[in-house]
């Protein structure tokens, strides 16, 4: 069994999230997803949807075998339990694949890192685009 791990904020689920998770699922037999904790989202605006609700939404997706909240202290902590074979990164995730693989190896997690390329294009395929459209219409 090949276990794939995907991570993200997953604020306001949209077709871009579905594409990413579907492509990640195709890389193996099981898809685990770590949903970012509200407190850990520092590289973009804080999520609108609270972490528990985002977790519930991701767990409800058919391609996801199990979703869990990330660690507030060490992002690598849940990986020890999950033991992924592959870590799928989205096209826009800020990780350097090589540096991530080196850190995984250093921590005894022999996972391969695969970046899912951007391929799904639609007018509202990002949380930011959805928020802008809502503000345009109702702001």
Give binding residues for ATP as ranges.
9-10, 14-17, 92
CA distance 47 to 130: 13
Q: Compute CA distances 83 → 2, 6, 37, whole Å.
A: 10, 12, 20
Binding site: what residues are annotated? 9-10, 14-17, 92
CB 20 within 8 A of CB 90: yes
Coarse DSSP helix, strand, coil percentages of the chain, rounded to the nearest 5 percent: 35, 15, 45
Residue that has been written with the tokens 């991701």 in this structure: 58
């Amino acid at each position: 069994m090949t276990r794939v791990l995907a991570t993200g904020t997953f604020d306001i689920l949209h077709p871009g999230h579905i594409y990413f998770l579907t492509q990640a699922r195709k890389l193996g037999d099981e898809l685990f997803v770590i949903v970012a904790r509200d407190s850990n989202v520092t590289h973009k605006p804080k999520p609108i949807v609270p972490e528990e609700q985002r977790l519930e939404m991701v767990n409800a997706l058919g391609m996801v075998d199990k979703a869990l909240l990330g660690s507030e202290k060490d992002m690598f902590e849940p990986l020890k339990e999950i033991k992924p074979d592959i870590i799928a990164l989205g096209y826009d995730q800020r990780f350097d694949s090589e540096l991530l693989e080196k850190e995984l190896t250093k921590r005894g997690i022999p996972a391969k890192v695969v970046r899912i390329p951007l391929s799904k294009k639609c007018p509202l395929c990002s949380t930011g685009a959805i928020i802008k459209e809502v503000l345009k219409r109702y702001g």
